[in-house]
Chains A and B, each alone.
Chain A
Amino acid sequence: MSSEVVKSGVDQLQSSRRSRMALVKKRFNDLVLNFYGWGGYLFLYLPIIILVIFSFNDSRSTAQWAGFTTRWYGEMINDSQIILSLWNSLFVAIVSTILSTIIGTLAAMAMERYSFRGQLMMDAILYLPIIIPDIAMAIMLLIFFDITGIGFEPWHVNFFRISLAVPYSVIIGHVAFNISFVAIVVRARLAQMDNTLEEAASDLYANSWQTFWRVTIPMMMPGILGGALLAFTLSLDDFVITFFTSGAGFNTLPVRVFGMIKKGVTPKINAVSTLMLLFSLVLMGISLIFRKGGDDENIMDLSL
């Protein structure tokens, strides 16, 4: 009898020690995991935060803090080259977004709603511009514009009372890589769309155009807007393709920044970078509002 009590007591002791060990192990694992997690996010954010901090540095150095100033932002605003390239960027982004959104949306409808001969080939052609590295696409377009002689002449335009001279080649190139991205985003939306509403519309004697404009397009809208925002962001951010297709003397903001970096590091570049950073944040915020569902699946779409 007593030996049994002792035995169960020992068992209890052992099992409680085992569970304590397991607890310690779990704590340790959680610690390692948290360390990794926070370390990862720190790695992603710290360089950007430091970049922003040093845009306010009262010295030409980007490594030693010498007090707070906003003079680099003043210099940025007074640099007519930077301001001009900003307007160029915005103009190229707006025009190429409009064109690629229309073209990409139509293509997405064809690919998602129909099955036809040659679909696989079109699929490949739509995916290629995404897979091919931008340097390859850039030199392809450079050779093409050079041989055919089209594109390099500038489009003179008054954009918010500022006269710009934008080479057609840049806009053509931006549309060429944006069509595919728009098509993917819109296709994703079409794939998860409920077709019954369209069927209901036609049951209620709406003709196909009415159904298209009153039902299909409104339902596709989140995808179309998402695609447009992605195109706008990609166009605004593009450096490589613009750099190679613009010919001499035309700068968008990233091309201008690259030229400045090549000449040397100054907090003025940090200031321009901070401005571009704010731009991206605003764009991302807008796209989040459009996808108000906000579940993981939708957020993952942003990675495209």
Chain B
Amino acid sequence: MHKVFAKYPSMRPWLLLLPASLWLFIFFIAPLFIVLIYSFQTRGTYGGVVWQFSIENFQRTFDPLYFNTFLRSFYIAAITTFACLLLGFPLAYYITTRPPQSRGTFVLALMIPFWTNFLIRTYAWLTLLRTNTGLINTTLISLGILKHPLPLFGNDFAIVLGLVYGWLPDMVLPVYAALDRLDNSLLEAAQDLYASGWRVFWRVIWPLSLPGVIAGSMLVFIPSLGAFVTPAILGGGKSLMIGNIISNQFLAAHDWPFGSAMSTVMMVVMLLATLIYFRSTSRKERVQA
């Protein structure tokens, strides 16, 4: 290998890439194509797969029963993204107003919950939100503030809360990075020209932080749309998202072709979102240049 490396310089990158491309082609690209092929097959009577081409699985995706779940997942992911922005933007701004030497600590403090297991963070909310035995309801009732427990669990609210909690740092970090790069003299110039606080925000801060906001929104929206753990735990078995429907096809219904079709649709939606994102950012960079 040593000799090949020296002899054929043009082969060097491919030699270095050999292990990665082998692994990813066999265990990622091949499975990806198998899912695509599977999604056009038919389910056998006893749960197996009959190799018979059909687009029935994709038609079934538009069955209101499943399509509504798709729409709901979209809605939940969108609300989650918006809530993360509403909570995350001021938090990111707050960090930029700290003295420079302590900003690192504030960013670090954001990362610590993020590095702890997602399952555990979701479980933490389960112990807080459960209807009759959750900490929030039992506390409010024992304090006499409530007579009946609030419906905090097993609904979309619980899922959104769990997702916001899980992905908030994903919003704050890119927004903070954008705000941190912001040139302070621009703000001073706006103030010198008697722009009000809101005007400064909407005309100067917001447009300049937009790349961070878009990046953060992507980082929150995509995993929220494909969420599986959060609805499985906080949805209480009633509120479901696409991820749960897909997993049910594999674990319970044994309809693998249909599960494959649903995940194909989900992946296509996400790839489209990612492409739009890359398009929009590169155009912005072009404008800046």
Q: Is B21 a contact of A122 with CB atoms below 8 Å?
A: yes
- How many Å lie between the Cα of A33 and that of B197 in the bound state? 14
B243 an interface residue at 8 Å Cβ cutoff? yes
Contact mask A120-150 → B, CB, 8 Å, 1/0? 0010011011011111110111111001000
Most chain A Cβ neighbours within 10 Å, of B103, B229, B270? B229
- How many Å lie between the Cα of A143 and that of B13 in the bound state? 32
A250 an interface residue at 8 Å Cβ cutoff? no
B82 an interface residue at 8 Å Cβ cutoff? no
A258 an interface residue at 8 Å Cβ cutoff? yes
B184 an interface residue at 8 Å Cβ cutoff? no
| B237 to A, closest residue via Cβ | A262
A68 an interface residue at 8 Å Cβ cutoff? no
A220 an interface residue at 8 Å Cβ cutoff? no
- How many Å lie between the Cα of A140 and that of B169 in the bound state? 28
B contacts with A: majority SS: helix
A151-198: which have CB < 8 Å to B?
172-173, 175-176, 179, 183
Q: Is B123 a contact of A269 with CB atoms below 8 Å?
A: yes
- How many Å lie between the Cα of A44 and that of B23 in the bound state? 37
Q: Is B17 a contact of A122 with CB atoms below 8 Å?
A: yes
Q: Is A40 a contact of B116 with CB atoms below 8 Å?
A: no
| A41 to B, closest residue via Cβ | B109
Choose among B14, B88, B109, B259 the residue that contacts A110 (Cβ–Cβ < 8 A). Answer: B14
Sort chain A's interface into a size bin.
Answer: 35 or more
Selected interface stretch from B28-36, B54-62, B63-71: B28-36
B72 an interface residue at 8 Å Cβ cutoff? no
- How many Å lie between the Cα of A84 and that of B103 in the bound state? 41
Task: Give the chain B neighbours of A276 by CB distance below 8 A.
Answer: 116-117, 120
Q: How far is the CB of A108 from chain B (nearest CB, A)?
A: 9
Selected interface stretch from B202-210, B219-227, B281-289: B219-227
Task: Give the chain A neighbours of B165 by CB distance below 8 A.
Answer: 43-44, 47
Beyond A114-B12, A302-B115, whether A139 also contacts B90 by CB under 8 A is no
| A51 to B, closest residue via Cβ | B124
Most chain A Cβ neighbours within 10 Å, of B2, B91, B123? B123
Contact mask B208-234 → A, CB, 8 Å, 1/0? 000000000000001101111100010
Q: Is B180 a contact of A45 with CB atoms below 8 Å?
A: no
B143-190: which have CB < 8 Å to A?
165, 168-170, 172-173, 177, 180
A93 an interface residue at 8 Å Cβ cutoff? no
| B22 to A, closest residue via Cβ | A103
B250 an interface residue at 8 Å Cβ cutoff? yes
Q: Is B259 a contact of A303 with CB atoms below 8 Å?
A: no
Task: Give the chain A neighbours of B111 by CB distance below 8 A.
Answer: 284, 299, 302-303
B52 an interface residue at 8 Å Cβ cutoff? no
Selected interface stretch from A2-10, A13-21, A58-66, A69-77: A58-66
Q: Is B173 a contact of A303 with CB atoms below 8 Å?
A: yes
Most chain B Cβ neighbours within 10 Å, of A43, A44, A209? A44
B40 an interface residue at 8 Å Cβ cutoff? no
Task: Give the chain A neighbours of B250 by CB distance below 8 A.
Answer: 139, 142, 244
- How many Å lie between the Cα of A135 and that of B97 in the bound state? 39
Task: Give the chain A neighbours of B127 by CB distance below 8 A.
Answer: 50-51, 54, 62-63, 265, 270
Q: Is B35 a contact of A139 with CB atoms below 8 Å?
A: yes
- How many Å lie between the Cα of A12 and that of B271 in the bound state? 62
Q: Is A47 a contact of B128 with CB atoms below 8 Å?
A: yes
Q: Is B229 a contact of A44 with CB atoms below 8 Å?
A: no
Beyond A131-B274, A139-B260, whether A176 also contacts B23 by CB under 8 A is yes
Q: Is A103 a contact of B117 with CB atoms below 8 Å?
A: no
A98 an interface residue at 8 Å Cβ cutoff? no
| B120 to A, closest residue via Cβ | A273
A285-304: which have CB < 8 Å to B?
288, 294-296, 299-300, 302-303
Q: How far is the CB of A212 from chain B (nearest CB, A)?
A: 10
Choose among A102, A135, A254 the residue that contacts B243 (Cβ–Cβ < 8 A). Answer: A135
Q: Is A43 a contact of B87 with CB atoms below 8 Å?
A: yes
- How many Å lie between the Cα of A165 and that of B137 in the bound state? 43
Q: Which 4 pairs, one residue from A and one from B, show the smallest C-beta to C-beta distance?
A: A133-B226, A37-B94, A110-B16, A107-B20
Kindly list 14 other residue pairs between chains A and B, CB separation below 8 angstroms, not including A140-B32, A257-B120.
Answer: A44-B110, A44-B113, A126-B20, A132-B267, A139-B35, A139-B260, A176-B27, A239-B229, A240-B229, A270-B127, A277-B117, A294-B104, A295-B104, A299-B108
Which B residues contact A (CB, under 8 angstroms)? 2, 5-6, 10, 12-14, 16-21, 23-25, 27-32, 34-35, 38, 87-88, 90-91, 93-95, 97, 103-104, 107-121, 123-128, 130, 133-135, 138-139, 165, 168-170, 172-173, 177, 180, 197, 222-223, 225-229, 233, 243, 246-247, 250, 256, 259-260, 263, 266-267, 270-271, 274
Which A residues contact B (CB, under 8 angstroms)? 29, 33-34, 36-37, 40-41, 43-45, 47-48, 50-51, 54, 61-64, 102-104, 106-107, 109-111, 113-114, 116, 119, 122, 125-126, 128-129, 131-137, 139-144, 147, 172-173, 175-176, 179, 183, 208-209, 233, 237, 239-240, 244, 254, 257-258, 261, 265, 269-270, 273, 276-277, 280-281, 283-284, 288, 294-296, 299-300, 302-303
